[in-house]
Every structure is written in structure tokens, then in C-alpha cells.
Amino acid sequence: MAKKSFLTALLVCLAVLGAKAQNISGRVVDETDAPIPYATVVAMQLPDSTFLGGVTTDNDGRFAFDLACDLLKISFVGYEPKFVSHPKGQLGTLKMNVVSSQLQEVTIAAKRPEITSLPDRTVVGVESTLLSSSADGIDLLRKTPGLLVDGQNNLSVIGQGSPIVYINNWRVYSMDEVYNLNPQNIKSIEIIHNPSSQYEADATAIVKIVTLRRNDDFSVRLGGTVTKARRWSERAFADVTFSKDKFSSNLYYGFNGRNTHTINNEDVMGYSMMEHRAYNLSENQGHNAKLMLEYALTPKITLGLQSIDNLNNSTSLREQSTHFVGENHTDFKTETNTDGKSLRSNNTLFFNYNIDSLGQNLTKATATRTFMWARQTTHCLSETARPRFRRERNTP
């Protein structure tokens, strides 16, 4: 009897382990049955579409991983996303369809981004491909094979987590800089899986955005958006670029503002004996400025100066009031105001030597100065309102 119970328990454990770890595989092709390499395959859990893991297809369009999930999403630029519910085992051939608003299949294939695999990195070509028609820099990264961007514009490399982002030889400290990039001025995106010693020691991966260098060019870009969803948000930017012969410069300013406003009322006791009201208001403003100067001594040697300043202002107001219903009651009210300011200034003078044969740069920063300042003040106010009691005297 005990032996039979043991075998039953063992079979149950094996079934549970098999359900948790399942080998999912398949092959992604286009409408002509040609393989789609570097398509992004993401496993998600319902109902909130939590990211569980992801891979990219190989040169033959094949993928495989051991993971149990509720939903599989397959995407590639120029094609409609494909979803597979409750995937298990071998999925066979998964055919993707061209986006209806795009060009014909032949043109789509011709304009696919050229992807090159090097020993330490993957280079995705952007110039003159479908990626160059992206709405902005964030949309471009969202469509780039091997990268994931969530709803809060947080960037991650599949299998490696959050990377450090560079635009050419300059480190990015605010994703607003990436958002305001013009995709038509981007040459390629390099996903560096094994960063060399020229980068930060704690960098697990590097995403390097390489822009096009245009000789004798002057351009001014202005833009902004105002959106209303759960909160108000505003964006505005000004970008000025000038290049002449071996000299190039860029001046950028960006503004990002967000406002939230919520009111909550609740009957705490359930019998209208005590009412609680909470009012929350928050405002956040970010100012980003960048000055970049570069001079090419030779096609491989560049001197540069970069100055980045980030100023953030935040204000929050929270009011809470409690009201006891009845003749003899006490009201409580608290108000909290919080103001915060922070400033980060980073200035770097660098020397860069490009090693074309190895596909990497040897960069040496000759002078770096970083200044950081922050302040936060909080004011609290409490009020209590009690009723006055009058005692009546009985006279004979």
C-alpha cells in the first residue's frame, strides 16, 4: 500500500514538473514560406501579459525554449504580430502576414533591416530600411530585433536585462534623448552582448545607436506632444545640428511634464458612521540639455566634448480628511506638501579611436566631471475639529 502511494506521488510530481517546463519550438516564415530570421518571440502570462522570457529566431527562422506560458507573441518589423494561445511542444510552421498598410511582399523583403552577427555584438541596419520609418527613437527600439520596450519606455535586451544606452560615443542618461531622435538620421543599432573594458564594469549589455554623419549640414527640429490617459503628460524638444568638414556639433533641449490628480471617497464603517476622503495631486517636470562638439582628426580618430544637464522638479500634495457622522463628532484633517529638486551635470572630454577590423572602439575619457545635487522638503499640517458640548441644568 505504501509503495503504491509512493508511486502515485512520484507520478504527480513528474506531471507538475512537466507542466511547468515545456519545450516550445517552431519555425517562423513569411507569406512566401521564406524564413524570417531574428524575429522576436516573447512568452507572456495572462491576464496582465507579464513577460516571462523571449528569444529571437535563427537564420532558418527556428526558435526553441523551455518555458510554460499562456501566450506567445511573434513580431518582426513590417509584419503583423502573430499570437499563439497556450503553446505546447512543436508548433510547426508559423506564417506571418505583411501589414496591410505596408508595401508589397517583395518590397518588404527588400527593405528588411540587414542584421550582422559579430563575435561580441549584433548590428542592425536602419538606414533605408523599414526601421527608418518609425515614429520616433523609442518606436524604433521597440521594433528592433532582440530588444524589448515596455509601456513605461523601459528598455531591455532579450536574455540580458536592462542595457546601458549610447548615442554614438555618448552615454544616454535620459530616454527622452532617444525618444526625440529622428529615425531617418540613424545608421544602425549595435546590441553589444559582451561589453569590453571601454564600457562600465557593471554593464551586462550595451545598446549603441549610431547616427549618420552628414557633411556641411545644418538642421533644426522642433516637436512636442500632449496626451491625456490616466494622467496629463507633455513633451517638447528643440534639436539643432551643425556640421562642417571635420567638425560637428549638436545642441538639444527637452522638456517632459506629467500631472496626476485623484480623489477617493469611502465609507469606512459601512454604515455611514465615518467617511474618509483622500485627495492626491502630483506634478513632475524634467528639463534635459545637451551640448556635443566633435572634431575628426582622421577617419578613425575623434576628439569630443559633451555636456549633459538634467534638472527635475517634483511637487506632491496629499490631503486626507475623516468625518464622523453624528451630533457629537470629531473631524480630522491632514495635509502634506512635498517639493523635490535634483540636478545632475556630467561633462566629458574624450579621445576615440575606431578599430574597424574588430568592429569596436577604443575610447579613452581624458577628463570627466560629474556634479549632483538634490533637495526635498516636506510640510505637514494637521487639524482637529471638536464640537462644543453644553450641559443643561434641571431646576426644581
Domain boundaries, the chain: 20-102, 113-212, 214-396
* Total Cβ atoms within 10 A of residue 73: 17
Q: What is the pTM of this model?
A: 0.65
Closest listed residue to residue 145, CA positions, set 37, 242, 226, 233: 37
CATH superfamily of the 113-212 domain: TonB-dependent receptor, plug domain (2.170.130.10)
pLDDT for the residue numbered 207: 92
The answer to whether 27 touches 37, Cβ cutoff 8 Å, is no
Q: Tens of pLDDT along the chain (396 residues)?
A: 445 554 555 554 544 444 445 588 889 988 888 888 888 888 888 877 777 778 888 888 898 888 788 888 888 888 888 888 888 888 888 888 887 655 554 455 547 788 888 888 889 998 888 888 888 888 899 889 889 888 778 888 888 888 989 888 778 877 877 887 888 888 999 998 888 777 777 778 889 998 887 667 788 878 777 776 556 678 788 888 888 888 888 888 888 877 766 666 555 544 456 676 777 778 888 888 888 888 888 877 888 888 888 888 888 877 777 766 655 566 677 878 888 888 888 888 877 776 654 445 555 555 667 777 777 787 777 766 655 444 444 545
pLDDT for the residue numbered 189: 92
Tally: H helices and E strands in the chain = 4, 22
**What Cα–Cα distance (Å) separates residue 110 from each residue in 78, 113, 114, 129, 184?**
11, 9, 10, 8, 17
pLDDT for the residue numbered 8: 55
Cα 139 to Cα 184: distance, rounded to the nearest angstrom: 12
The answer to whether 315 touches 339, Cβ cutoff 8 Å, is yes
The answer to whether 57 touches 37, Cβ cutoff 8 Å, is yes
Indicate if the alpha-carbon torsion angle 257, 261, 135, 140 is positive or negative: positive
**What Cα–Cα distance (Å) separates residue 35 from each residue in 93, 95, 145?**
10, 9, 15
**SS3 state of residue 342:** strand
Cα 194 to Cα 172: distance, rounded to the nearest angstrom: 19
**Does the domain spanning 20-102 belong to CATH 2.60.40.10?**
yes
pLDDT for the residue numbered 312: 86
C-alpha cell at 127: 538606414
For the chain, the distance separating the N- and C-terminal CA atoms, rounded to the nearest angstrom, is 91
Residue 238, strand partner residues = 222, 253
Q: Where are the alpha helices (DSSP H) in the chain?
A: 2-20, 105-110, 137-143, 175-179
